[in-house]
Amino acid sequence: GKGSVYVASNVPFIVHWPGVVVPSEDDLLVANIDVFPTILDFAGIVRNDLQLDGKSLRPILDGTGDFTDNWRWRKYLLLEYGYARAIIMHDFMKYVALRYPPDLQALKDSGVDIDHAGYLPGDRRHRYSGISKSQYPFYFDADQIYDLKLIGDERFATENLFGTGRRPWSEARLPEFMAEVSATLPHSFGEFTA
């Protein structure tokens, strides 16, 4: 999802490097943030002065790592866009939180179609105007939970699982985990603030 926290976890990552990459297929949670650390690792460059969000994929690509359990590789991915944050867990449960600041929330509550970046209708940067509710019926729900293993991506969600009681662990724990992850960031986000 460019410019969105949606549809960001169902894109295949394919690497072809004969003699180096061991052919395999898995469902490990990887992202574009892992490319740079991987290049550094294969080049033998150690940069302890850099704080990188990604991890080197080398143990996966060269077959030296044992990641029989997805959580051993990565526990979660954090996605951020505007006033939306999402956590995709190693088991592919996804929690999305949408938190506008009070002034934008007041406009939203009055019926103004504000996008996740806070742009108003008529602004050329406004995304999903008019189609968001049909394409993503839960786009403006403050809290959202999706089982990506079950549906593939949010475009196929027929319901937001948050508040249904069908995923009690996810409903209780994922917002707590969002708070834990948010506390490590240099910026605030709704009630998920350090």
* Opening angle at CA 49, ends 89 and 181, nearest 5: 25
- Its pTM stands at 0.81
Across 61-72, average pLDDT? 75
Question: Looking at residues 107-133, what average pLDDT do you find?
Answer: 76
pLDDT of residue 36: 94
pLDDT at residue 157, as a whole number: 72
Residue found under tokens 């180096």: 20
How open is the CA angle 177-181-184, to the nearest 5 degrees? 150
Among 41, 86, 76, 47, residue whose Cα is nearest residue 61 = 41
Does the pLDDT at position 154 exceed 90? no
Q: For residue 53, give Cα distances in angstroms to 67, 76, 79.
A: 19, 12, 12
- Token pair, residue 17, equals 């490097």
Percent of the chain's residues with pLDDT above 70: 86
Q: How far apart are CA 46 and CA 40, in angstroms?
A: 7
Instruction: Tokens 């999903």: give the residue.
Output: 128
Write the pLDDT tens digit of every residue in 156-190: 677 889 999 998 999 999 999 999 888 888 888 88
Instruction: For residue range 12-50, list pLDDT tens digits in order.
Output: 788 999 999 988 888 888 888 899 999 999 999 998 898
Report how far residue 62's alpha carbon sits from residue 141's, in angstroms, rounded to the nearest whole number. Answer: 42
Residue ranges with strand state E in 75-192: 76-81, 84-89, 93-98, 143-147
Distance (Å, rounded) from C-alpha 96 to C-alpha 1? 13
